[in-house]
Chains A and B, each alone.
Chain A
Amino acid sequence: MKASVIVFPGSNCDRDVQVALEKFQIATTMVWHQETELPKSDLVVLPGGFSYGDYLRCGSMASKSKIMKEVIKYAGTGGYVFGICNGFQILTEAGLLPGALLRNNKLKFICKDVQIKTINNQTAFTKKISEHKILSVPIAHNDGNFFASKEEIQSLKDNNQIVFQYCDKEGNISGESNPNGSFLNIAGIVNKNKNVLGMMPHPERVIDQLLGGTDGQEIFRSLL
């Protein structure tokens, strides 16, 4: 299996995700944002970071970069695209996922472990995770407050596109377990075709006990 990790100016989780992919024997190529061709890939990852210093809106400038034209084409043919944190923001700005990620409701950068509930385990990204399993995964963002119009939210529900929701340790999805004000505690969604996943938490940071946890492994294992 081959993966491409897109590197934008300001990406800072690109190497972490490379380490995570390679741990699962996924051969990984780093692709600079100014490239105009995507290497033959089974998966494209948009990593976390602060592309273009979050200027204008998080992910807005990165979504217009040269390589993104190819990523959009690739996603259109059913290719798997996985955006983490800033990668999720880029996917919404590129129109590959609905909604937008606003400033956290309490205006603070949040860096901590949170619990997320696996709502849809019928995607390529979650197929080896048991239904409703609670994963402990860190978040590290200033703009993770998921927003979408009423129609978009209804469509996300109708098409089973909500993949992860913030919850507490018992799995309760409530206001108290919502770290950033996201609609419906949404932490991750897929597109209608289920081949593009965006999520704010960082599974690549919990792939080894030495890093403090292994729950992120479940996502990378699902991709194999």
Chain B
Amino acid sequence: MKFEIFVTLKKDVLDPQGKAVEGAIKNLGLSNISNIRQGKYFTLEIAETDEHKAKQQAEDACKKLLANLTIEEYSIKKLS
């Protein structure tokens, strides 16, 4: 089973990289674009046929390594 995972900084955590990207975007003349936040994207495959169990394993991976819950949140979506 294949999943995609987004890891993003929590809303109240400053994202200086996102801000710098936003500055560059504005320099390009794309002045309507704002509130850019940068995050991470993962895809992974889990050798498991039970969707519930597979999703739990993906959750486990997020909580234990892929995301740092002090500063980040994650979302998981099944791809196939």
Contacts and interface: CB of A to CB of B under 8 A. Distances in A.
B57 interface: no
Given A105-B14, A107-B20, A147 B70 contact: yes
**Most chain B Cβ neighbours within 10 Å, of A64, A147, A181:** A147
Interface in A109-136: none
Interface in B23-80: 40, 64-66, 68, 70-71
A55 to B, nearest CB: 11
Contact of B68 (A93, A107, A181): A93
**Most chain B Cβ neighbours within 10 Å, of A57, A60, A92, A106:** A57
If over half of A's interface residues share one DSSP class (helix, strand or loop), that class is named, otherwise mixed; here it is loop
Interface residues of B, number: 12
A60 B7 CA distance: 14
Interface string A137-178: 000000000011100100000000000000000000000000
A180 B13 CA distance: 15
Nearest to B40: A56
B18 to A, nearest CB: 10
Interface string B3-27: 0000000000110110010000000
A92 B16 CA distance: 20
Interface of A: 56-57, 60, 64, 92-93, 98-100, 102-107, 147-149, 152, 181
Contacts of B64: 64
Contacts of B16: 102-107, 181
A57 B20 CA distance: 19
Contacts of B14: 102, 105, 181
Nearest to A106: B16
